[in-house]
Amino acid sequence: MEQNVNFDYQRGERTGIPEAIFCEGKTKETILGLLEKFSSEGAPPVLFTRLAADIFHDLKRKFQKQYRYDETAGVAFRQPLNQEIYGKVAIVSAGTSDANIAWEAAKTLEYLGIRTEVFEDCGVAGLWRLQARLAEINDCQVIIAIAGMEGALVSVLAGLTPRPIIGVPTSIGYGVCEKGKTALRSMLSSCAPGISVVNIDNGYGAACFAAKILMTFSSIQP
């Protein structure tokens, strides 16, 4: 069954971030119909998030070829937005198990025309891994820090950088990790200043927040 979707064509003008289509919970027929609809050259920009690989690969080949699809991120878009945004975002993940959230953030920012650098597997269980990349991380203007378990990466990183940090707790972990709730509470209760936190597994939301920071800064550049 194909569902009725009311597309928000003015969202980009109002907020700076165009419409995104969250694919989880929608029927396969609905998603395939939307992918076909927005595949043409003159279609408005749209980002598909949480797009399962099996659904995308069921799309007719002629439509698949119109999209950039990343299976790890679960993200598809036709082409990046044509805009010049100053700065770069560092995406730092605690472990490779956080890859789908890290790359969701990275591909969202790529769609928005913003440069990124991804630093994977920098968790505090081996603090040297973070220390080794710190100079490169600090070359970026905004940091997205992604961690499950106890979420300690965010607090540690906030004590080592002057950059604003967006924390993303992930549902990675077991037992008392409570599917990300422990990481969320840890990040929200951090004593390190300069941290904001988004919802569990919300790589897309973190990317949009980082984009708005850089867009605001770009708008006041001479």
pLDDT band at 42 (very low <50, low <70, confident <90, very high): confident
Q: What is the pLDDT of residues 168-194, one digit of tens each?
A: 999 998 999 899 999 999 999 998 888
pLDDT band at 59 (very low <50, low <70, confident <90, very high): very high
Size (the chain), residues: 222
pTM metric for this prediction = 0.90
* More confident site: 95 or 5: 95
Q: For residues 62 and 47, what is the distance between their CA atoms, to the nearest angstrom?
A: 18
Q: For residue 164, what are the CA distances in angstroms to 44, 102, 167, 213, 216? A: 32, 17, 10, 9, 14
Q: What is the pLDDT of residues 92-140, one digit of tens each?
A: 999 899 999 999 999 999 999 999 999 999 888 888 899 899 999 999 9
Q: Specify the pLDDT at position 218.
A: 66
Q: Specify the pLDDT at position 150.
A: 87
* Closest-CA residue to 213 (of 77, 36, 86): 86
